Amino acid sequence: MNVLGIDEITLGAGDLPTCRRFFLDWGLNLAEESPTRLVFESLNGCRVIVAHSDTPGLPAGMEPDPTLREVVWGVDSEDGLQHLARKLRAQPGFFEKDGRIGCTDPNGLAVRLQRSRKREIALDCARTNTWGERSRIDQASPAYDRATPIEVGHVVLFTTDLEACSRFYQDLLGFVVSDRYPGRGHFLRCGPRGGHHDLFLLQPPEPRRGLNHVAFAVRDVHEVFGGGMHMSRQGWTTELGPGRHPISSAIFWYVVSPAGALVEYYTDEDELTEAWQPREFTPGPTVFAEWAIKGGIDGHTRRQVNAEPPSGRFMTDKPKP
Ligand SMILES: [Fe+2]
């Protein structure tokens, strides 16, 4: 296993001031900025770059902007990088420069590899008391006013050739299939051991190439809720969330992004090993989400959007109808 995960993504967009406000609200740190380029960092040093669509040298998108223009995958070692360079040499657009190798995947997306620049970090995360295991003693569970994402955990791409694209990541980069919608979607992880997916390739019935969403890992379920409600308070639109994926088990919250498609807060995804047997599913709304809230939770009332706001100090203050 050489590829560890996503080190950096670049999004192409036309409205950088809105993207700046959005990703600061999302919880990223603005590390560098110029009129045509914003460089954000998550907690472990994973970078999210928003480049103006007109930037010279920006790799072509799979679809018109705003969208994903490039994904940089982190590799474990220099030997690992050289091993991957040999495997990718025959691919379209191959280059090797300044510690990065790159090519174009069968979907038309710019793929780059570098020695991972992400940092190991230790974080306090919520402990959970279950019936059989009490791990939070004399301690209240945390609540978050907003999220500070740890890293980009996965990207989800629409593809017009699922098989070719999936083969590229499996055969050349060593990715492993975690689960499948046969003929429709492959959940891929970077290697045998790791989180459920680093990449999900989706071939919709209406042929389409492009970005579906970029997902950011957060510490725990409470940070998903706190982050989503903060985005709601700042006026951004929730597509769906909170909710839970039956495939991967993750708790999620999707927000509409001015830099293209959706962004997702997620936590508590399945951790897999060599022993995991890929499963097959038929697409459907309840397979996508075991449960979910359309439009999200209002950040002020802390209730479902458009639900009646709370009154009184306790629920029992309400007179009986
Ligand atoms: Fe996701």
DSSP string, 12-56: EES-HHHHHHHHHHHT-EEEEEETTEEEEE-TTS-EEEEEETT-T
**307 falls in which pLDDT band (50, 70, 90)?**
confident
Assigned token pair, 305: 């959007």
Amino acid present at 82: Q
For the stretch 88-121, pLDDT in tens is: 999 999 999 999 999 999 999 999 999 999 999 9
Q: What is the SS3 assignment for 74?
A: strand
**299 falls in which pLDDT band (50, 70, 90)?**
very high
**1 falls in which pLDDT band (50, 70, 90)?**
low
Residue 253 Cα to ligand 1 middle (Å): 9
Say whether the peptide bond before residue 149 is cis (omega within 30 degrees of 0): no
Ion ligand 1: residues, Cβ under 5 Å: 215, 264
For the stretch 156-171, pLDDT in tens is: 999 999 999 999 999 9
For the stretch 64-75, pLDDT in tens is: 999 999 999 999
For the stretch 200-216, pLDDT in tens is: 999 999 999 999 999 99
Residue 321 has pLDDT above 80, yes or no: no
For the stretch 3-49, pLDDT in tens is: 999 999 999 999 999 999 999 999 999 999 999 999 999 999 999 99
Q: Terminal CA-to-CA distance of the chain, rounded, Å?
A: 62
Assigned token pair, 299: 């950040």
Residue 217 Cα to ligand 1 middle (Å): 10
For the stretch 134-152, pLDDT in tens is: 999 999 999 999 999 999 9
Residue 265 Cα to ligand 1 middle (Å): 8
**220 falls in which pLDDT band (50, 70, 90)?**
very high
Query: What integer is the mean pLDDT of 267-289?
Result: 95
Residue 71 and residue 110 in contact, taking contact as beta carbons nearer than 8 Å = yes
Residue 315 has pLDDT above 80, yes or no: no
The model's pTM is 0.96
Residue 75 Cα to ligand 1 middle (Å): 22
Residue 55 has pLDDT above 70, yes or no: yes
Assigned token pair, 97: 């420069």
Residue 121 Cα to ligand 1 middle (Å): 22
% of the chain exceeding 90 in pLDDT: 93
Task: Output the average pLDDT for the chain.
Answer: 96
Residue 199 Cα to ligand 1 middle (Å): 9
Assigned token pair, 298: 């209002």
Residue 213 Cα to ligand 1 middle (Å): 7
Residue 243 Cα to ligand 1 middle (Å): 11
Residue 190 Cα to ligand 1 middle (Å): 15
For the stretch 174-194, pLDDT in tens is: 999 999 999 999 999 999 999
Q: What is the SS3 assignment for 165?
A: helix
Assigned token pair, 216: 């950011």
Give residue 313's pLDDT.
77
Task: Of 230, 251, 234, give the one whose Cα is nearest residue 242.
Answer: 251
On the 0-12 / 13-18 / 19+ scale of CB atoms within 10 A, 11 is buried
Cα pseudo-dihedral 157, 185, 75, 123, rounded to 10: 80
Residue 4 Cα to ligand 1 middle (Å): 18
**312 falls in which pLDDT band (50, 70, 90)?**
confident
Residue 306 has pLDDT above 80, yes or no: no
Residue 156 Cα to ligand 1 middle (Å): 7
Amino acid present at 130: T
Residue 212 Cα to ligand 1 middle (Å): 9
